[in-house]
């Protein structure tokens, strides 16, 4: 059984397209050209279009940053927890790992995985999952592309755990939630998948929630991190 869901949102055409803000490689979109998708989180200016998504081109200099990663491809896979597909996925419940192609695989629940990849890779991920199902006869393996139905936030910096403690009851110590941990909890009263994947030795969390809660969660994290001089950072490819 294979299902896909999600729909993009059309936004205003007066934005910048390219890898950087105006004056640093971006270019004004031709008249009549519009982005094809928009995150629920309003991007701070300058606004760019990357891979069809309206994103922020702001570059933060702070030690604690929030980045809207909603444009990333997101595919949810379900399969028997002890079956062949689970073994091939290779990531148990409660853990996350980055594959050689940079795809993130997170064991987000018993018999449930979340795959994250660069924008536009949703069909490829779902196709790979279909091949996985074919290699797992007798198992019910399903894949759902939730790219446009979910929000994704990256929270980076040494003080990220201190901020999360203010809005979540989980123990964010290295002993309980080390690098590579994945769990589902309430963050600022929002049901959220939390994935810790440090980058270049810097503490980093990925926060995945329903699209309708994305802007609220982003705003609550900004408010909670104000005392730590938090800043919004823009999206850059590959994003993961």
List the one residue out of 151, 119, 102 whose CA is nearest residue 35: 119
Q: How large is the average pLDDT for residues 208-224? A: 98
pLDDT tens for residues 111-127?
A: 999 999 999 999 999 89
Which pair of tokens denotes residue 51?
């891979």
List the one residue out of 150, 110, 114 whose CA is nearest residue 129: 114
Which pair of tokens denotes residue 6?
């999600």
Which pair of tokens denotes residue 131?
């091949």
Task: Compute CA 2 distance to the chain's CA centroid, rounded to the nearest angstrom.
Answer: 22
Q: How large is the average pLDDT for residues 13-21? A: 38
Contacts of 29 (CB under 8 A, 6+ apart): 13, 14, 15, 16, 17, 49
Q: How large is the average pLDDT for residues 170-184? A: 97
Q: Is the pLDDT of residue 5 over 60?
A: no
Q: Is the pLDDT of residue 35 over 60?
A: yes
Q: How large is the average pLDDT for residues 153-162? A: 98
Query: Which of 208 and 23 is assigned the larger pLDDT?
Result: 208
Whole-angstrom distance, CA of residue 70 vs CA of residue 206: 11
Q: How large is the average pLDDT for residues 10-18? A: 38
Q: Is the pLDDT of residue 19 over 50?
A: no
pLDDT number for residue 239: 92
96-105 burial code (b ≥16 CB/10 A, e <16) = bbeeeeebbb
Q: Write down the mean pLDDT value for the chain.
A: 88
Q: Is the pLDDT of residue 86 over 70?
A: yes
Q: Is the pLDDT of residue 46 over 90?
A: yes
Whole-angstrom distance, CA of residue 197 vs CA of residue 68: 16
| Weakest mean pLDDT among 17-26, 91-100, 129-138, 162-171 | 17-26
pLDDT number for residue 33: 55
Task: Residue 142: count other Cβ atoms within 10 Å of its Cβ.
Answer: 15
Q: Is the pLDDT of residue 26 over 90?
A: no
Whole-angstrom distance, CA of residue 28 vs CA of residue 142: 41
Contact (CB, 8 A) for 225 and 66? yes
Instruction: Give me the percent of the chain exceeding a pLDDT of 90.
Output: 83
List the one residue out of 128, 135, 134 whose CA is nearest residue 103: 128
Q: How large is the average pLDDT for residues 196-211? A: 97
Q: At what angle do helices 211-224 and 160-167 cross, to 10 degrees?
A: 110
pLDDT number for residue 34: 82
Confidence of residue 4 (pLDDT cuts 50, 70, 90): very low
Q: How large is the average pLDDT for residues 183-193? A: 98
pLDDT tens for residues 133-153?
A: 999 999 999 999 999 999 999
pLDDT number for residue 10: 37
Pairing of strands 37-38, 65-68: unpaired
Q: How large is the average pLDDT for residues 165-187? A: 97
Q: What length does the chain have?
A: 240
Contact (CB, 8 A) for 35 and 199? no
Whole-angstrom distance, CA of residue 89 vs CA of residue 92: 8
List the one residue out of 117, 101, 131, 134 whose CA is nearest residue 237: 117
């Amino acid at each position: 059984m294979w299902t896909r869901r999600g729909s993009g949102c059309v936004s205003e055409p007066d934005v910048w397209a390219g890898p950087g803000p105006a004056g640093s490689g971006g270019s004004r979109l031709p008249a009549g050209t519009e982005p094809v998708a928009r995150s629920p989180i309003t991007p701070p200016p300058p606004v760019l279009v990357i891979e069809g998504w309206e994103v922020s081109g702001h570059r933060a200099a702070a030690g604690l940053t929030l980045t809207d990663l909603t444009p990333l491809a997101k595919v949810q896979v379900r399969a028997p927890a002890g079956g062949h597909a689970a073994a091939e996925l290779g990531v148990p419940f409660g853990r996350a790992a980055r594959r050689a192609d940079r795809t993130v695989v997170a064991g987000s629940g018993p018999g449930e995985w979340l795959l994250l990849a660069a924008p536009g890779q949703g069909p490829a991920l779902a196709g790979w999952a279909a091949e996985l199902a074919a290699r797992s006869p007798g198992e019910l393996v399903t894949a759902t592309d939730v790219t446009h139905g979910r929000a994704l936030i990256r929270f980076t910096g040494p003080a990220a755990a201190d901020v999360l403690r203010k809005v979540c009851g989980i123990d964010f110590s290295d002993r309980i939630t080390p690098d590579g941990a994945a769990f589902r909890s309430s963050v600022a009263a929002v049901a959220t998948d939390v994935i810790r994947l440090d980058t270049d030795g810097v503490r980093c969390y990925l926060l995945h929630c329903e699209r309708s809660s994305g802007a609220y969660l982003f705003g609550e994290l900004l408010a909670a991190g104000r005392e730590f001089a938090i800043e919004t950072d823009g999206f850059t490819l590959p994003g993961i």
